[in-house]
Structure 1
Amino acid sequence: MKKFFGFLFVLVLALVTAACGGNNDNSDSADKSTGKSDGGKKEITIAIDQNFVTLDPHNAGDTVSIFGVRSMYEGLVGFDEKMNIEPALAESYDISEDGLVYTFKLREDVTFHDGEPFNAEAVKANFDRVMDDANNLSAKRSFQFIDSLEVIGDYEVAFHLTEPFSAMINKFAMVPMISPKAIEEGTKYVEANPVGTGTFKFVEWKQGTILELEKNEDYWGGDQTNVEKVIFSPVPENGSRVAMLKTGEADFVYPLPQQNVKELENNEDLTIDESPSTIARYVSINTFKDPYSDLKVREAMNYAVDKEAYIQVVKDGFGHVLDSTMSSETQYYSQQEPYEYDVEKAKELLKEAGYEDGFEAEIWGNTSSESVKGMEFIKQQLAQVGIDVTIKSMEEGTLSDEIYTPEKPEDAKVQMWYVSWSPSSGDADGATRGLFSSEYFPPNGANTAYYDNDDVTEWIKAANATADPKEQEAIYKDIQSTVYSDAPWIFLATDINLAAHRNHLEGVYVAPDGSVDISHAQIK
């Protein structure tokens, strides 16, 4: 019976969502199939599924905004293709034995896109901006353990911490350096006029339409790319992104819709890129609200959702059951026993909680095709146990405002949020602290489940305070076990990153955290 209803749902959903894409007209006479315009200028278009929320590098929290920022900015250190730390604007760094002092020797041959020099004073200007409470920037969460910045010389700085923080070096990679001259112009200027040191520099941003960049001919690292112009084009509808790729209107597409892989894998003009991912997909449940404050209700919701069917229906088989609070690709991952699909058990738990007849619920998500499809799946699954779900789909910027604007848990309107998370800092702290510490309720962090467990909050602090990897591993194991049992999410799946590019393009890739890197783009 379970298999029959699963098949029936797959069939109905396939009929509803089939073949909704179309081709976007482009009056430009450029030869998009080769990535070159008529004038010989080498340019590429990258089609993505969401809008950029902000281009302020100290306030970017969503993955799309983060990789948009990284296209123009750099930090003292950065990440390689596998999310390992590597030097960037600092040519080297040293960590004191007690873990309280991080000393950076800066590169001496770097200028910002506006011609301003990069030096110790520029680092100080950025540090001052981040730490100013009046600016209310999300980057301050990365610097919360920093007490002061010492300018040792023109090209050397030292950060002094109040206590050891094991993930600190990764956090430095998350705070890009802005031109001091741009900082002086104020936050509104920074938001609209990115000025960094990266391989590409800002030209224009039309919210919801394009982000246009051009090559930084004076890049300190030499000639990293032969691409002269990059257009990021937000295209939420799956079929439209695929059509752009097939016609050559787009040179790189991410994410590639899973259902189009078989269609495109034999296309001689295209290459499909498949890579491991740290992206976890889940439904965040507002544990502060009734009936979601009841553990039995949250457990019931987990048992009511068939995770394997989710992967087949929504992800077309490209994914793995989320069997912890983080992806298996993330540092200190510890596997848990998944919530098996069991409708009868879900109904029994709801009955014990006093909701034998179910209840009405609301789920929020963005407007991308996959998010809508995912929310439809959740709605169908929960309907089996009497939970009547209304879907509320919003544009990314509006959704972000609705989620993160409330100052107190009681002000939050969200009930459930269909969302994904990837630790852009590449460490276990990035997959844990902002999501599960009670100190990181919105607007201070991404604990949108308003999950409150004193043990977990203290364990997170303890994990950050020790430099012993074995001790950290043991602590994070306890954290994952406890959170998974407390079920503040409907745990769904981890991604397999899928992208595709036309064969004339090389060097653009998707990192495990889902960010698109264009710094070494090459047109053949």
Structure 2
Amino acid sequence: MAKKGMMLVLAALFSLSLVLSGCGSSGNTAASVQAVQKHGKNITVAVQDNFVSMDPGDTNDTLSFSAEKTMMEGLIGFDREMKMVPVLATSWQVSPDAKEYTFHLRHGVIFSDGTPFNAEAVKVNIDRLSDPKSTLKRHSLFAMVDKTVVVDNYTVKVILKQPFGAMLNNFAHPAALMVSPKALQKYGKDIARHPVGTGEYMLKEWVQGDHLTVVKNPHYWRQGYPKLDSITFRSVPENGSRIAMLKTGEADFIYPVPPEDVQAMSGANGITVQHKPSIIVDYISMNTMKKPFNDSRVRQALNYAIDKNAFIKVVYSGLAEPMTSEIAQNVQFFSPQQPYKYDLAKAKELLKAAGYPNGFDTTIWSNNNSTYIKATQFIQQQLAQVGIKVKIENMESGTMDTKIWSVQNPQDAKIQLYFGGWSPSTGDADWGIRPLLGKDMLPPKGYNTAYYQNSVVNNEIQQAIQTADPAQRKAAYDQIQKAIWQDAPWVFLDTRDNIYGFRNYLKDAYLLPDGSLDIQNAQIVR
């Protein structure tokens, strides 16, 4: 309690200094804090939002995946450049028609509850994800699976209903992290609170809204790992508090670092700040089933009414790029579109043509972290210039998820505008588009918060799914991106950088391009 109290006092003092100075951390503030030497092999990671679920198949946020990946592993993973690497599968073969995927499994691996990892365990996991009756949020990644066949104890074959060239990417997605069959049977739907995997760490404690702690898994299969004894994730939505924790040594790694503080913090008091391009896009979805957003002219008007470059400068201190498609440039099959330039006259003209010459009132939802609060305030100010009065509702992530995912009938959805980000953690266009804008992905099945349906888009999505030919997939995604861009179910904002900070004694902890934390090789170096 004393430690937590001290953290809060320091955070409050730091936040006060920000208010008085009218800016982020200054060089003088950084210099006033002495570097802290690290003792032991326990680290704290401060993050900006709360964890929602520890069930990878039912997880919809990248942050929760970061914690899950410390405890669970998949057949395939991604390296720092999002290239696929073997994990629990040592090798694999894909049939020429891209319908059969055969995995050869690693020997001698057990789940942290003692359950053997083998082909039967893989079958249990894939069958759960692909079950047609599944209500798991990541079911759509595996809905095309026809059956999973145990060939022998360490060989498993997954057979699809139709060819799908991006299926390996889906197996590398964190949704495919393997969960102990024994734990699935024991906990049922409560597995989200009792994760059990083959990973380096095991869950010790999860106090929702405060912290989640994992400790070393004594049964881990890779010799010499993990190199840390424990990792504690702390939910710290307020930017100044996270920075204060890193400066005092209360935290060893924080993300994201507020863009405005990058220059002042870099190299000060044994702190390193890194920023690299990501595949995360920020957007505002508009509920296309309800007035006034059922009119594409209104949706296009909002795109013209918001200055994307100013948004990036104010919210991300320039550490982002304006979107030129629904997916980021480094996502497979990216196809750039002609940007919506900042043009208030054009926005007003479109609103008038749609029957809203004086604008209208609406509400925007977002998470309640500091960056998202700043973003929604900027959006509110920009739209006011064309007569659109925006009420802001910043919510804790679990609260907002409930409001979005509890809706069973699309007509009952209260959502109007939603500001958020999306990271296609498969690295492929399919997962950057289909779960967000496909007709079968309306909540609670998917994350189509725009409640968007377009026959051309839906047809081309099916064409892209049903072929393994890269040329055919590219042609389909070219059409999809063009149609969505013109129809504008989103305000297309930016592709942001990943920005994170850490104490210099912590090595090999970093963010992948999808924004998830990779801490597998992390260690304390003295």
Tell me which interval the TM-score lies in, with the shorter structure as reference length: over 0.9
Shift of 1:133: 5.3
1:278, 1:309 → 2: CA distance? 21
Shift of 1:446: 1.1
Structure 1 equivalent of residue 278 of structure 2: 277
Query: What letter is aligned with 2:475?
Result: A
Conserved? CA contact 1:300–1:349, under 8 Å: yes
Conserved? CA contact 2:135–2:445, under 8 Å: no
1:304, 1:187 → 2: CA distance? 48
Structure 1 equivalent of residue 13 of structure 2: none
Deviates more, 1:424-433 or 1:360-369: 424-433
Conserved? CA contact 1:35–1:43, under 8 Å: no
Structure 2 equivalent of residue 324 of structure 1: 325
Q: 1:135 to 1:508 in 2, by over 3 A?
A: same
Shift of 1:19: 5.7
Structure 1 equivalent of residue 36 of structure 2: 33
SS, match of residue 399 in structure 1: helix
2:230, 2:504 → 1: CA distance? 18
SS, match of residue 461 in structure 1: helix
Shift of 1:159: 0.8
Q: 1:270 to 1:378 in 2, by over 3 A?
A: same
Structure 2 equivalent of residue 475 of structure 1: 476
1:448 aligns with 2:422: no
1:298 aligns with 2:299: yes
1:400, 1:293 → 2: CA distance? 23
Structure 2 equivalent of residue 251 of structure 1: 252
> Structure 2 length as normaliser, TM-score?
0.92
Query: What letter is aligned with 1:304?
Result: A
SS, match of residue 444 in structure 1: coil
1:355 aligns with 2:345: no
1:411 aligns with 2:425: no
Q: How does 1:368-407 map to 2 (within 5 A)?
A: 368-407=369-408
Shift of 1:124: 2.0
Structure 1 equivalent of residue 228 of structure 2: 227
Query: What letter is aligned with 2:45?
Result: I
Q: 1:216 to 1:431 in 2, by over 3 A?
A: same
Deviates more, 1:287-296 or 1:79-88: 79-88
SS, match of residue 476 in structure 1: helix
Conserved? CA contact 1:303–1:346, under 8 Å: yes
Shift of 1:139: 2.9
Shift of 1:226: 1.7
Shift of 1:48: 0.6
Query: What letter is aligned with 1:207?
Result: Q
SS, match of residue 186 in structure 1: helix
Kindly report the root-mean-square deviation, in angstroms, between the aligned alpha carbons of the 2 structures.
Answer: 1.7
Structure 2 equivalent of residue 92 of structure 1: 91
Deviates more, 1:307-316 or 1:75-84: 75-84
SS, match of residue 493 in structure 2: strand
Deviations 1:410-443 (A, max 9, x none): 1110000010011011211110111111111111
Q: 1:485 to 1:263 in 2, by over 3 A?
A: same
SS, match of residue 71 in structure 2: coil
Structure 1 equivalent of residue 196 of structure 2: 195
Deviations 1:249-279 (A, max 9, x none): 1101100100111211241401111112000
Deviations 1:68-125 (A, max 9, x none): 1111111111111111111111111111111111111111110101111101111122
Conserved? CA contact 2:132–2:143, under 8 Å: no
2:524, 2:50 → 1: CA distance? 25
Conserved? CA contact 2:150–2:157, under 8 Å: yes
Structure 1 equivalent of residue 212 of structure 2: 211
Deviates more, 1:167-176 or 1:305-314: 167-176
Conserved? CA contact 1:182–1:189, under 8 Å: no
Shift of 1:176: 1.1
1:19, 1:505 → 2: CA distance? 28
Structure 2 equivalent of residue 307 of structure 1: 308
Structure 1 equivalent of residue 427 of structure 2: 426
Conserved? CA contact 1:215–1:229, under 8 Å: yes
Structure 2 equivalent of residue 138 of structure 1: 137
Deviates more, 1:203-212 or 1:463-472: 463-472
2:252, 2:109 → 1: CA distance? 30
Conserved? CA contact 1:32–1:249, under 8 Å: no
> Structure 1 length as normaliser, TM-score?
0.92
**Which runs of 4 or more aligned residues in structure 1 lie more than 2 Å from their structure 2 counterparts after TM superposition?**
14-21, 31-36, 127-135, 186-189
Structure 1 equivalent of residue 365 of structure 2: 364
1:499, 1:229 → 2: CA distance? 20
Q: 1:110 to 1:364 in 2, by over 3 A?
A: same
Q: How many residues align?
A: 498
Query: What letter is aligned with 2:36?
Result: S
Conserved? CA contact 2:292–2:298, under 8 Å: yes
Conserved? CA contact 2:127–2:148, under 8 Å: no
SS, match of residue 85 in structure 2: strand
1:288 aligns with 2:289: yes
Q: How does 1:15-26 map to 2 (within 5 A)?
A: 18=22
Q: How does 1:166-177 map to 2 (within 5 A)?
A: 166-174=165-173, 175-177=176-178
Deviations 1:439-475 (A, max 9, x none): 1111111111111111111111111222222222222
1:464, 1:415 → 2: CA distance? 30
Query: What letter is aligned with 2:37?
Result: T
Shift of 1:17: 10
Deviations 1:468-520 (A, max 9, x none): 22222222111111101111001111101110100000011000000011111
Deviations 1:4-34 (A, max 9, x none): xxxxxxxxxx97994699xxxxxxxxx9933
SS, match of residue 33 in structure 1: coil
Q: How does 1:38-49 map to 2 (within 5 A)?
A: 41-49=40-48
Structure 2 equivalent of residue 75 of structure 1: 74
Q: 1:398 to 1:90 in 2, by over 3 A?
A: same
2:142, 2:345 → 1: CA distance? 47
2:472, 2:501 → 1: CA distance? 40
Q: 1:183 to 1:479 in 2, by over 3 A?
A: same
